[in-house]
Chain A
Amino acid sequence: MLETDLAIIGAGPAGMAAAYTAAQSGLSVLLLDEQSRAGGQIYRDVERAANTRGHILGKDYTCGLALVENLKHERITHVTGAAVWQVGQDCELTYSVAGKACQASGKRLLIATGALERPMPVPGWTLPGVMTAGAAQILLKQSGIVCERAVLVGSGPLLYLVAAQMIRTGTAPLAIVETQSFSDMISAMRHLGGALRGWRYLTKGLALLAEIRRAGIPRFTAATSISIEGDGKAQAIRFTSAGRENRIDCATILLHHGVVPNTQISRSIGLDHHWDPDQRCFVPQTDGWGRTSLSAIFIAGDGGGIGGAKAAEIAGSLSALEIACDLGAMDKGERDHKAGRLRRALTSELAARPFIDRAYPPFVPALTPKDATIICRCEEVTAGDIRRYAKLGCIGPNQTKAFGRAGMGPCQGRYCGLTVTELLAEANQKTQEETGYYRIRPPIKPVSLGELSALAKTESAKP
């Protein structure tokens, strides 16, 4: 088994910054990521794409190059294509690289597995041609592929960014169908002070909107009654906006209404989580250094609560400082000196968040969809099925498994877990916190029997 001071899962901004800070403090670092190149979601494939597509993707993308460059530090071992599928409370990790299972252990473990796009179950969302907006962006960053005749649907600044990036490729989206309303903007105004302190985000958002306007892309707001039509694949989107019914013929529909922490690993080791009513999702419990309810395990970045790429980077560094201190590589004085500057930067990074969260809330009809809408993509369970389970006495997500197969498919609830919580909470008139979430069991990524048995052999060969 590979042994290291600090094992990190995830090579996005949080994991990369933590790796470098820890290595600089003298710790040995093992950095695992299932992607074939470093970068995480925001800086996906930045080393390859910065030169050819930097002008399309923008400066906020190419600035990730510096983080990737830092991974060359001699004390950092970055294993690419390493999907972690089991994590022990003792910081032991099991992962597979090219179909071969391996094990490693760290004196400390940092989970930096980022976010997932919030599931947006609307009628027709399982049709080919419907993807997340993040998926379209990954196609563009990683492969230089742009979706044609696309409509962006949902809410949040990422929609504007993806639209602007598409415009710069010369293949603009047909329209942006937004679900947030004027009254959301009014209620966000209470937090305008914060937004002004985080003015860089505001300026960037306005610049993107100006780019979209110049390109003449139609924007519809306060859209409701969204449904996707198509025979075998998506062919049109229907919605109501400003009292009018609309139908747009299209080939691709890109859904997005925010991102939520990816809690698969933190759930699988039984860490404490709580419901965050502002971001409307579960968040693992951590202290100001990212330390979890298990003292040797830390979480940094969007996986510990949504803050964006810069905040993730800072949180990664903060965790690394505390870990260096834990392991005697740094004294408290030095830690606090370095952390002070980081914390000030973090405060200013997060200043605009409350404004953004209020101005671009999730699309409520997709949180508790109509009965006929599929909510579990893998097993094709509908919202109506979950409501029926509630009537039969089902109070928590784990019990749904006694009634049907929701959450039991290969995605292990990644794209239905929050919807099941919301539906049961509503039906049983309980809070989301009381309702809880799926229990996640390893392996959290599918593993073949071959991988398991090869691992069993190396285990039994141990003295």
Chain B
Amino acid sequence: MKTASDYRILDETRQRVTVRFEGNELLLREGENLAAELLAAGIAPFRRTPVSGAPRNPFCMMGACFDCLVEIDGVTRQACMTEVADGMVISMPASRRTDDA
């Protein structure tokens, strides 16, 4: 699920902290947008749809499409509306229906 990234970070100013995604350790820029940092780290997919299991990644980056849903420390949240914090434990949302997200 972690591949070479298709996204380039322009300036490396911020400190990196450790988070986990599906058990893998990632070093992400602290305080930056979580969806953006996961993309830059080469994460794909963020989740699978409850209907067909199709892979999804962020689509709108503005809190409208809900394709960036991930589970952070047990709570399903929009990664594009969340900032990176040290020690976050992130996983794909359990594949129950998304309307109780």
Contacts and interface: CB of A to CB of B under 8 A. Distances in A.
B8 A148 contact: yes
Interface centre among B39, B52, B61 (most CB of A within 10 A): B61
Nearest to A231: B55
A56 B11 CA distance: 13
Interface string B8-24: 11110100000000000
Contacts of A377: 59, 65, 67
B49 A143 contact: no
Given A117-B60, A142-B36, A408-B99, A380 B54 contact: yes
Nearest to A450: B75
A409 B99 contact: yes
Contacts of B52: 380
Given A116-B64, A134-B60, A145-B36, A139 B49 contact: no
Given A139-B61, A146-B7, A377-B65, A128 B36 contact: no
Nearest to B59: A131
Q: Which secondary structure dominates chain A's binding surface?
A: loop
A171 B6 CA distance: 11
Given A131-B58, A135-B59, A415-B64, A252 B99 contact: no
A171 B75 CA distance: 36
Interface in A24-58: 34, 36, 41, 52-53, 56
Contact of A409 (B13, B45, B61, B66): B66
B48 to A, nearest CB: 11
B90 interface: no
Contact of A135 (B10, B13, B58): B58
Contacts of B67: 126, 377
B2 to A, nearest CB: 13
Interface in A122-148: 126-132, 134-135, 138-139, 142-148
B101 interface: yes
Interface in B35-89: 36-37, 39-40, 44-46, 49, 51-52, 54-67, 69, 75, 81, 83
**How many residues of B sit at the interface, in one of the four size bands?**
35 or more
B93 to A, nearest CB: 10
Interface centre among A36, A377, A445, A448 (most CB of B within 10 A): A377
Given A34-B63, A116-B64, A128 B44 contact: yes
A214 B63 CA distance: 35
Nearest to B81: A34
A148 B6 contact: yes
A144 B83 contact: no
Contacts of A379: 51
A52 B11 contact: yes
Nearest to A136: B61
A129 B63 CA distance: 17
B95 interface: no
A116 B59 CA distance: 12
B30 interface: no
A448 B66 CA distance: 15
A132 B39 CA distance: 15
Contacts of B55: 127-128, 232-233
A445 B62 CA distance: 13
Contacts of A149: 6
A138 B61 contact: yes
Interface string A220-261: 000000000000110000000000000000011000000000
12 contacts: A99-B75, A128-B55, A131-B60, A135-B59, A142-B33, A143-B32, A143-B33, A144-B9, A262-B64, A377-B65, A378-B49, A448-B75
Interface of A: 34, 36, 41, 52-53, 56, 83, 99, 116-117, 126-132, 134-135, 138-139, 142-149, 169, 171, 232-233, 251-252, 262, 377-380, 408-411, 414-415, 445-446, 448
Which 3 interchain pairs have the tightest Cβ spacing? A128-B57, A251-B6, A135-B61
